[in-house]
């Protein structure tokens, strides 16, 4: 059967397929601790749910503005100004999307043509490179090496440039490593992008999840960066709204106009009642209190893992201490086994699901990604199972 050759060349999303496998095992009665998925274990805050349900009850179940409800775009603009001093025109520079994946897709489509090259850090979330391929472009991996704290050096970025390069992708706080880029590093990237006339797609879905006084700098807030930045964000991680599928793209008006076409021809619009919930997320003070409480719980779970690790100081595995997001990137290179083998054996023998780091790129090989977006008990038990399994090798 003839099918699209570009899509045929792509692999199924490992993390999604792996999560489906874990759910099947759990449904079959196997006590698997699933620490593979970046899905908050918290319920969506009540004011958000209330706003959505009221919108449904009031009949907001029809087509709506394809750019997004004006009230929501205004709320996003106010949030960006308040938090990062980013000035974005809610009328022309903000597009509401069906999650961050859709924002990334439409933004990338708006600024590339088939055959263009896109710089993508390695390791990085699978979708960053595979969406590039799906659009007929070529991702160029930029090594983010462990010895450099998973930050590509400027020399690495320069070495990756080709005559066909049009875009660079960055993601901070980073999935899978939890690294946050210092402001001076981002300033250097801004100069690099300007020198090479590149657009910068900045995936900032974990922006609120930061620890130990770390500070996230939104790339679009840097002097002179707005003109080349496509800011991708989502309500999923901050507000425990992964299933709601709502995010946004912020970019210059000319780019938003083209991304809007891609959105209109793919989803028409984001459901109005979902957008009403998102308005509550950005404007209800009770929601902000809940967000702060959730971040505090993630920080507590992060500390649980660090404390357990310190109690096993003879273990050959090492932790990358996350500054943000809700993942640990665990260095298992000294075990002498492929990360894919370790992940598979952990699932079979220790009933614990961790994602092999090689899923995220060559420089993720020899690592495992573990989420702390799970209960305190599961996080503690899952990491303990890993340590015990390693001790018995």
pLDDT recorded at residue 188: 98
Q: Is the pLDDT of residue 179 over 80?
A: yes
Instruction: Give the integer Cα–Cα distance in Å for 302 and 211.
Output: 9
What average pLDDT does the segment 25-46 reach?
93
The answer to whether 357 and 365 are in contact (CB under 8 A) is yes
* Structure confidence by residue, pLDDT tens digits, 280-324: 999 999 999 999 999 999 999 999 999 999 999 899 999 999 999
pLDDT recorded at residue 266: 97
What average pLDDT does the segment 273-277 reach?
99
Q: Is the pLDDT of residue 51 over 90?
A: yes
pLDDT tier at 326 (50, 70, 90 boundaries)? Answer: very high
Q: Is the pLDDT of residue 25 over 90?
A: no
pLDDT recorded at residue 135: 97
Q: What are phi and psi of 185, to 5 degrees?
A: -65, -45
Q: Angle, to 10 degrees, between the axis of helix 253-264 and the axis of helix 100-111? A: 110
The answer to whether 363 and 174 are in contact (CB under 8 A) is no
What average pLDDT does the segment 206-222 reach?
98
In this structure, the number of other CB atoms found within 10 A of the CB of residue 284 comes to 17
pLDDT tier at 204 (50, 70, 90 boundaries)? Answer: very high
Q: Residues of CATH 3.40.640.10 domain(s) within the chain? A: 46-284
Torsion sign, CA atoms 94, 214, 245, 61: negative
Q: Residues of CATH 3.90.1150.10 domain(s) within the chain? A: 5-44+287-391
pLDDT recorded at residue 18: 82
pLDDT tier at 88 (50, 70, 90 boundaries)? Answer: very high
For the chain, counts of helices (H) and of strands (E): 13, 13
Best CATH choice for the domain 5-44+287-391 from the list 3.30.420.40, 3.90.1150.10, 3.40.50.720, 3.40.50.2000:
3.90.1150.10
What average pLDDT does the segment 1-8 reach?
87
Instruction: Give the integer Cα–Cα distance in Å for 306 and 318.
Output: 10
pLDDT recorded at residue 306: 98
Determine what percent of the chain is predicted with pLDDT higher than 90. 91
DSSP, residue by residue, 144-171? --GGGTT---HHHHHHH--TTEEEEEEE
What average pLDDT does the segment 334-349 reach?
95
Q: Is the pLDDT of residue 1 over 80?
A: no
Cα within 13 Å of Cα(393), Cβ side: 18
pLDDT recorded at residue 286: 98
SS3 330: strand
pLDDT recorded at residue 215: 96
Q: Angle, to 10 degrees, between the axis of helix 376-391 and the axis of helix 285-310? A: 20
pLDDT recorded at residue 30: 86
pLDDT tier at 374 (50, 70, 90 boundaries)? Answer: very high
In this structure, the number of other CB atoms found within 10 A of the CB of residue 349 comes to 11
**C-alpha dihedral, 174 to 175 to 178 to 183, nearest 10°:** 0
What average pLDDT does the segment 372-383 reach?
98
pLDDT recorded at residue 327: 98
Alpha-carbon separation of residue 11 from 1, 14, 188, 359, 370 (angstroms): 18, 8, 34, 11, 22
pLDDT tier at 111 (50, 70, 90 boundaries)? Answer: very high
Q: Is the pLDDT of residue 94 over 80?
A: yes
Q: Is the pLDDT of residue 107 over 90?
A: yes
Give the helix/strand (H/E) hosting 233.
strand 229-234
SS3 10: coil
Q: Where are the beta strands (DSSP E) in 86-198?
A: 94-97, 117-122, 138-143, 165-171
Q: How far is Cα of residue 14 from the mean position of the Cα atoms in its chain?
A: 15
What average pLDDT is seen over the chain? 97
Best CATH choice for the domain 46-284 from the list 3.40.50.300, 3.40.50.1580, 3.40.640.10, 3.30.1330.10:
3.40.640.10
């Amino acid at each position: 059967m003839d099918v699209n050759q570009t899509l045929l060349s792509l692999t199924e999303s490992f993390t999604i397929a792996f999560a489906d496998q874990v759910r099947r095992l759990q449904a079959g009665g196997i006590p698997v601790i699933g620490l593979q998925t970046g899905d908050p274990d918290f319920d969506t805050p009540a004011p958000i749910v209330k706003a959505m349900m009221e919108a449904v009850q009031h009949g907001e179940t029809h087509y709506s503005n394809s750019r997004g409800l004006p009230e929501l775009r205004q709320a996003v603009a106010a949030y960006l100004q308040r938090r990062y001093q980013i000035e974005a025109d809610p009328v022309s520079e903000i597009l509401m999307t069906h999650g961050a994946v859709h924002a990334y897709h439409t933004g990338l489509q708006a600024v590339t043509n088939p055959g263009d090259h896109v710089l993508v850090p390695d390791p990085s979330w699978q979708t960053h490179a595979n969406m590039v391929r799906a659009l007929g472009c070529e991702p160029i991996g930029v090594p983010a090496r462990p010895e450099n704290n998973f930050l590509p050096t400027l020399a690495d970025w320069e070495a990756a440039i080709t005559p066909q390069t049009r875009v660079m992708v960055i993601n901070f706080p980073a999935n899978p490593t939890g690294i946050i880029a210092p402001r001076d590093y981002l300033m250097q990237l801004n100069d690099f992008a300007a020198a090479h006339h590149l657009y910068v797609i900045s995936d900032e879905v974990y922006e609120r999840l930061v620890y130990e006084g770390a500070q996230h700098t939104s790339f679009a807030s840097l002097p002179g960066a707005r003109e080349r930045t496509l800011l991708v964000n989502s309500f999923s991680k901050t507000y425990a709204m992964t299933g709601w599928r709502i995010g946004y793209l912020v970019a210059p008006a000319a780019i938003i106009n083209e991304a809007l076409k891609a959105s209109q021809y793919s989803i028409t619009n984001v459901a109005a009642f979902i957008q009403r919930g998102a308005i509550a997320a950005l404007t209800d003070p009770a929601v902000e209190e809940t967000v702060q409480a959730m971040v505090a719980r993630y920080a507590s779970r992060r500390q649980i893992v660090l404390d357990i690790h310190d109690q096993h100081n003879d273990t050959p595995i090492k932790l990358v201490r996350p500054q943000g997001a809700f993942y640990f990137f665990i260095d298992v290179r000294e075990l002498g086994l492929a990360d894919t083998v370790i992940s598979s054996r952990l699932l079979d023998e220790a009933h614990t699901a961790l994602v092999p780091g090689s899923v995220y790129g060559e420089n993720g090989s020899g690592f495992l990604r573990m989420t702390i977006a799970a209960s305190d008990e599961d996080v503690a038990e899952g990491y303990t199972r890993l340590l015990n399994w390693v001790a018995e090798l």
